[in-house]
Amino acid sequence: MSRTLNIQTDFTSGEIDPKLRARLDLEQYYKALASAKNVIIQPQGGITRRPGLQYIGTIGGSPADGVRLVPFEFSISDSYMLLFTNERMYIYKNKVLQTAINGGGNDYLTTTGVTSAVLPTMRWVQSADTLIIVQEDISPKKIVRGATDTDWTISDVTFDTLPKYAFTVTTTNPATTLTPSAIDGNVTLTAGAATFHEGRSNTAQAGAASTITLDAGAVATDDIYNGAGILITGGTGEGQRRIISDYVGATKVATVSVAWTTTPDNTSTFTVDSDVGQYVNNTVNFGRARIVEFTSATVVKAYVEVPFFDTSAIASGDWELESGYEDAWSTLRGWPRTATFHEGRLYHGGSKALPSTVWGSRVGEFFNHDQGEGLDDAAVEATIDTNQLNAVVEIFSGRDLQFLTTGGEFYVPQTTLEPITPSNFVVRLASRNGTKEGVGVQGLDSGTLYIQRQGRALNEFVYTDAQQTYVSARVSVLSSHLLKTPTRMALRKATSTDEGDLLLIVNGDGGTMTAYTLLRSQNVVAASEFITDGTFIDVSVDIDTIYAVVKRVINSVDTYMLEAFNSSYTLDSAVAGGVASSIAGNHLALEDVQLLLDGAVQVEQTMDASGDLTFPRASTSSYQLGLNYTVTVQTMPVDPRQAGGTRQGMKRRVLRVDVICDSTQSLTINNIDIPFREFDVSLLGDPVAEFTGIKTLHSIQGFSQDAAVSIGQLTPLKFTVLGLEYRVSAGA
């Protein structure tokens, strides 16, 4: 039988997957934990009790149908957390709910169209004082803060020009000549007779199975609307779109190419597509031009994409009007599902009808998608085509413009840092993992973090100088067991050298939260798991404040609460105060709660039905009341590294454990409570003094083949462990 002395100097591998139990060849094994519950791994290597959750408020409306947290930074001094439920937006500033919104009686802003069905996949992007919300089933909306914290508006984004797409292409041959003013560039096209129109929107006079009678003011020229699309925008038959195959100017009757599903009538409003955005083609010689401006029924301005042969009049029958180019986004076709700002453009990605297409606005004109003459500042567009569907779910502005899709990860190369223009807007494939929709992505200095499509891996999309391209690195390779159907993700950037970046992932399966401490420069990727008396629903970060929506069962009723992680708290759903002898109207009615008076832990208390509680004694300086949570940490099975090999087949016994503590007030070792109170310097009612040094447990009994050290904490006090030293006896 041999005895060895072992030390675990740090825990920077965090909790690792049980499947790695046999990987003694990995250096990370000796820095890992088999379990890390309700702790944060410090970048220096220690473990500390996670912050408690400060109670902010109970969420109104219908949060059970859906809820979403969205941060909004208005200025250096003013930032907010916006909480969306069905048709409502609550505004929180510095953890305080803003009331009497817009001077009214509501504590929320009504958000027409932002329903529960929208929230799971809703995305957003901010520019200055405006927050833009996108989702494929709603027209993009903008939220603007006014002069005060309670002055807010929400409205549909008004686009100057929408991108066009030919969902159904039709061609007509007007019975007249067409003369271009030049063969290339910006030209004027002049027809020999009335040919062009600028569209029409009004209320119909009547309808039949395959016709619709336009309003009396419609153009009186025969066939002028032929080939144009017509959409019933309201009234009877709303949402139907057809192509006009014949138009009689005298009667205003338009015949459609496919019979109506629902016959329109005199209540039906309609829109006929304009010739602007459509194309003119010379079908005999060269020439193709996009109409950019309507001047009259015989004159339009156009931009030439394929030069004309000459400026001679093109004979009737030798040219065609190519129609069917309609707004790429609409109620009928769907709206963009994601957006971001990048180098002066507002980019949108994916829609219901065009899931793999990305669009960029004109430079400096965020709501203008006019491609114009194709100059460097014009709008851009590309479709991501590979051998599989690439529905765009995220766009991220990083070192380059990145598109994360259900089929893979793409980017726009800018190797010489030149700006994106219509001529170099090329989307390149980097990896084929796919991204899960609705979770969101987060940017580190090193790369972009995203959840893989199946929800079982956390990846980082990072540029490598060696390969001159992007690759996807598996961040969660050691801890994928902690990813349980992720639904939300948020990142709190480190605010000091004592912290790492903290990535928080809400798990839809089980309602826990996975926490990653990240310090990529030191190769620190350390996972742990947060568990509370309830279910985590959402998480988001307002600069450095982490907000969470938690569903708790209070008095047998599901209750949704907004809470914030607070390092001053050691309890969940907690409230705190100063001098007091009781509390009234607390939100934890009829619940068993933990109480701290002046930093000293009291016997567990039970709230009455009104949420009232009389304290065992009055606090002289402070109190904290809330729900306790248990800290549990367990090392990997002890296997001393010796020249003679491993001890996997031997029974082992941990003889002694020395725990290196820092400012700690309570801990257990192998389920044995370790004393911290010094009776000669404090009274039993006083708080336990913080201890820095070594706590030791001797004479640990029992042999096992999976000998391990467990460290925990049952009382809500300070807890930080920097390392472990333990003596192990191993025998046959």
The Cα–Cα gap between 350 and 341 comes to 15
Tokens 């940017």, residue? 443
Domain covering 67-161+331-485: architecture? 7 Propeller (2.130)
Q: Where in the chain is the domain with CATH 2.60.120?
A: 2-51+631-731
* Residue positions counted in the chain: 732
In this structure, which amino acid lies at residue 678? E
- Cα distances from 260 to residues 237, 255, 453, 544, 572, in angstroms, run 8, 10, 40, 56, 59
Quote the percentage of the chain above a pLDDT of 90.
Answer: 82
Burial per residue of 521-557, b for 16 or more beta-carbon CB atoms within 10 angstroms, e otherwise? eeebbbbbbbbbebbbbbbbbbeebbbbbbbbebeee
- For 388-416, what is the mean pLDDT? 93
Q: What is the DSSP letter of 50?
A: P
Band of the pLDDT at 644, cuts 50, 70, 90? low
pLDDT over threshold 80, residue 143: yes
**pLDDT tens per residue, range 306-341:** 999 999 999 999 999 999 999 999 999 999 999 999
Position 3 scores a pLDDT of 74
Provide the CB-side half-sphere exposure for 348 (13 A, CA): 29
pLDDT over threshold 80, residue 60: yes
**pLDDT tens per residue, range 268-278:** 999 999 999 99
**Pair 482, 506: CB distance under 8 Å:** no
Band of the pLDDT at 678, cuts 50, 70, 90? low
Query: CB burial class (10 A; 0-12, 13-18, 19+) of residue 385?
Result: exposed
The reported pTM is 0.91
pLDDT over threshold 80, residue 388: yes
Position 653 scores a pLDDT of 81
Tokens 């003011």, residue? 217
Position 647 scores a pLDDT of 59
**pLDDT tens per residue, range 100-124:** 999 988 999 999 899 999 999 999 9
> What number of H helices and E strands is found in the chain?
0, 62
Q: Structure tokens of 604?
A: 């567990």
**Pair 113, 138: CB distance under 8 Å:** yes
Neighbours of 660 (CB within 10 A): 19
Average pLDDT over the chain, rounded to whole?
93
**pLDDT tens per residue, range 172-211:** 999 999 999 999 999 999 999 999 999 999 999 999 999 9
SS3 29: helix
Position 446 scores a pLDDT of 80
Q: Looking at the DSSP assignment, which residues form a beta bridge with residue 334?
A: 330
Band of the pLDDT at 520, cuts 50, 70, 90? confident
| 571 φψ region: left (φ > 0), alpha (ψ -120 to 50), beta (else) | beta
**pLDDT tens per residue, range 70-83:** 999 998 889 999 99
Position 455 scores a pLDDT of 93
pLDDT over threshold 90, residue 66: yes
pLDDT over threshold 80, residue 235: yes
In this structure, which amino acid lies at residue 571? L
Band of the pLDDT at 300, cuts 50, 70, 90? very high
- Cα distances from 3 to residues 24, 282, 421, 655, 726, in angstroms, run 19, 92, 69, 9, 11
Position 254 scores a pLDDT of 98
Quote the percentage of the chain above a pLDDT of 70.
Answer: 97
**pLDDT tens per residue, range 421-469:** 998 999 999 999 999 999 999 999 889 999 999 999 999 999 988 888 8
- For 208-233, what is the mean pLDDT? 96
SS3 65: helix
Residue 6 neighbours by CB under 8 Å, 6+ apart: 638, 640, 725, 726, 727, 728
Q: Where in the chain is the domain with CATH 2.130.10?
A: 67-161+331-485
Neighbours of 92 (CB within 10 A): 21
The Cα–Cα gap between 626 and 177 comes to 82
Task: Indicate the fold that domain 2-51+631-731 takes in CATH.
Answer: Jelly Rolls (2.60.120)
Band of the pLDDT at 497, cuts 50, 70, 90? confident
Position 246 scores a pLDDT of 96
pLDDT over threshold 60, residue 682: no
Provide the CB-side half-sphere exposure for 489 (13 A, CA): 25
Q: What is the largest CA-CA distance in the chain?
A: 109
pLDDT over threshold 80, residue 705: no
Q: What is the DSSP letter of 117?
A: T
pLDDT over threshold 70, residue 384: yes
The Cα–Cα gap between 482 and 528 comes to 8
Position 128 scores a pLDDT of 81
Neighbours of 291 (CB within 10 A): 21
Q: What is the DSSP letter of 599?
A: T
Q: Structure tokens of 679?
A: 């009776």
Position 641 scores a pLDDT of 60
pLDDT over threshold 70, residue 346: yes
Band of the pLDDT at 387, cuts 50, 70, 90? confident
The Cα–Cα gap between 602 and 635 comes to 31
Position 640 scores a pLDDT of 63
- For 297-301, what is the mean pLDDT? 97
**Pair 203, 182: CB distance under 8 Å:** no
